[in-house]
Chains A and B, each alone.
Chain A
Amino acid sequence: MIRDITLGQYYPGESILHRLDPRLKILATLAYIILLFIVNEWIGFAACFVFLAAAIALSRIPLPFILRGLKVIFIIILFTFVLNLFMYDGTVLVRIWKLTITDQGLKRALFMAGRLILLIISSSLLTFTTTPIQLTNGLERLMKPLSKIGVPSHEIAMMMSIALRFIPTLLDETDKIMKAQQARGADFESGNILHRAKQMIPILVPLFISAFRIAQDMALAMEARCYRGGEGRTSMTEMRFRKRDYITAAVLLLFAAGIITLRVLI
């Protein structure tokens, strides 16, 4: 189960998506997410879907791998769907006791669930195709102008990259601790909610202790290598926009313009 969580993982590859400038990929993902919430008609939604499908095809990452990440947030999607389903007025389609499903409600529910799914897939596509180091470098460069007004851009980027870097480590750690406690007869699968919550303690306590231990070791190792924060720090790889980046940016701008036009017209 634990291994199904693919969010924040890197999937090694050589595709065009892997080689794009990380800054562009970050901005593109952000723009795509904003567009997802601008869209409010079927046709625009279909366009967003096709756009993402094309991006996935270009990334050459197998679809089952991408879809695995959705399993984990299935409950959230379902919850959003059901909540939206009963929330809107309109032509009544089905009436169950005091709850009514309207055509507007169904449409909103489908849109909201669809948005969530596309949002998750698009942001995981970013982490699948970008190494954590590229991601942080990209973020840092994007935020650089903000450091003039006192935003600690390097520190924020460093914290994010450390968090991303340790997601798989902590997942492995959780897996190990769960197995060890199962070997001592712990049972995480049966019993009522209270019982199950109680059974989490033997996992959470060691996990927190491990997290603190790893963090401390990491801080020491960084200090031992004279890490002193972002001031005057240079980067081994200088980021530069290439032809492929300009082309991608152009495609993206066209897509965004199309979506916004649709919204204004319809």
Chain B
Amino acid sequence: MSIEVRHITHIYNKGLPQESAALRDVSFDVADGEFLGIIGHTGSGKSTLLQHLDGLLKPDEGQIVINGVDITAPKVSLLAVRKQIGLVFQYPEYQLFDETVAADVAFGPRNLGLDQEEIEARVRESLRLVNLDYEAIKDKSPFDFSGGQKRRIAMAGVLAMQPRVLILDEPTAGLDPRAHRDVLEMIRQYHAARPDSIIILVSHNMNDIAEYADRVLVLDKGQVIFHDTPKEVFAKSAELRAIGLDIPDLADLAEKLTARGFTVPGDLFTIPEMARAIAAALRGGEGA
């Protein structure tokens, strides 16, 4: 699985006074098995970019090649594209519509033309993946659940299509800390079960991006500012702050400790690693 984005430009309201370029000459690659994080201020073009990757929007210029297939070509089968790519929109729970949970989750697989047996197996599997009990909830209305549960049902609806590229637009927005963690762990598990699949996560939460992503794409005003590993990207705290973004809490802590004269590396993104580094700095720091 690979994604190549080549010089795409997208302009909204072309020819009208409110014309605005949502994406300007955006190029990047996503390699097999990569977990890509996308960050950017509101209105930086993140959502527009995601919709291009699923063929929901066509670029005004440029190409997107997924596994050797140019999905921006005029006659390409979009169903074939969507078979491979799963897109979870922001607040996916607002897209639930069917009478039962099982029927709603089965909507995607049914559109793919799978047979009944396969559909049921996939529904069962994807509900298990989002930590819901298939037997207990399959015949209930999806509208009878809490917000967090509805979101998981909606995500199961995308996972049931077993996409090899899973794209998520702020999947944790508006969730409580516990549900937040659950959703991210779920994504991690999906990735672990399919090592060659690509995950693309858009988030405002720098901690999540630092912890999960292999590479980070930073967008500002429709242009790619950085595309690198989290270590490299989050080392540029001044530039990120200038475009309205932030750095992960631990990088921020390291920066403040360093300013006070302790030597703590700024590229540690998990708490245990950071704790050890601080301990080492304290032990060594006394002598220095």
A binding-site residues for B, Cβ under 8 Å: 62, 64-65, 176-177, 179-187, 201-206, 209-210
Contact = CB atoms under 8 A, between A and B. Distances in A.
B72 to A, nearest CB: 16
Interface of B: 15-17, 51, 54, 56, 78-79, 82-83, 85-87, 89, 92, 94-98, 107-108, 111-112, 143, 157-158, 161
Given A64-B15, A206-B94, A179 B56 contact: yes
A204 B98 CA distance: 11
Given A179-B51, A184-B108, A185-B161, 12 more contacts: A62-B16, A177-B94, A179-B89, A180-B92, A180-B95, A182-B78, A183-B86, A185-B107, A185-B112, A201-B97, A204-B97, A206-B95
A181 B51 CA distance: 13
B169 to A, nearest CB: 10
B87 A183 contact: yes
29 contacts: A64-B16, A176-B89, A179-B56, A180-B89, A180-B92, A180-B95, A181-B107, A182-B56, A182-B78, A183-B54, A183-B56, A183-B82, A183-B85, A183-B87, A184-B107, A184-B108, A184-B111, A184-B161, A185-B83, A185-B112, A185-B161, A186-B111, A187-B111, A201-B97, A202-B98, A203-B97, A206-B95, A206-B97, A210-B94
Contacts of B96: 206
A28 B161 CA distance: 56
A112 B151 CA distance: 51
Contacts of A182: 56, 78, 82
B82 A185 contact: yes
A177 B89 CA distance: 9
B89 A205 contact: no
B107 A209 contact: no
A187 B78 CA distance: 10
Contacts of B111: 184-187
A9 to B, nearest CB: 11
Contacts of B54: 183
A62 B92 CA distance: 37
Contacts of B143: 209
Contacts of B56: 179, 182-183
Contacts of A187: 79, 111
A24 B240 CA distance: 52
Nearest to B83: A185
B86 to A, nearest CB: 7
Contacts of B112: 185
Contacts of A206: 94-97
A65 B16 contact: yes
B164 to A, nearest CB: 15
A177 B95 contact: yes
B97 A202 contact: yes
A201 B51 CA distance: 22
B59 to A, nearest CB: 16
A201 B104 CA distance: 12
A204 B51 CA distance: 21
Contacts of A184: 82, 107-108, 111, 157-158, 161
A167 to B, nearest CB: 17
Nearest to B110: A185
A64 B112 CA distance: 39
Contacts of B94: 177, 206, 209-210
A209 B56 CA distance: 24
A202 B180 CA distance: 27
A34 to B, nearest CB: 32
A181 B78 CA distance: 13
Nearest to B13: A3
A145 to B, nearest CB: 39
Given A180-B92, A202-B107, A185 B79 contact: yes
Nearest to B111: A185
A62 to B, nearest CB: 7
Contacts of B98: 202, 205
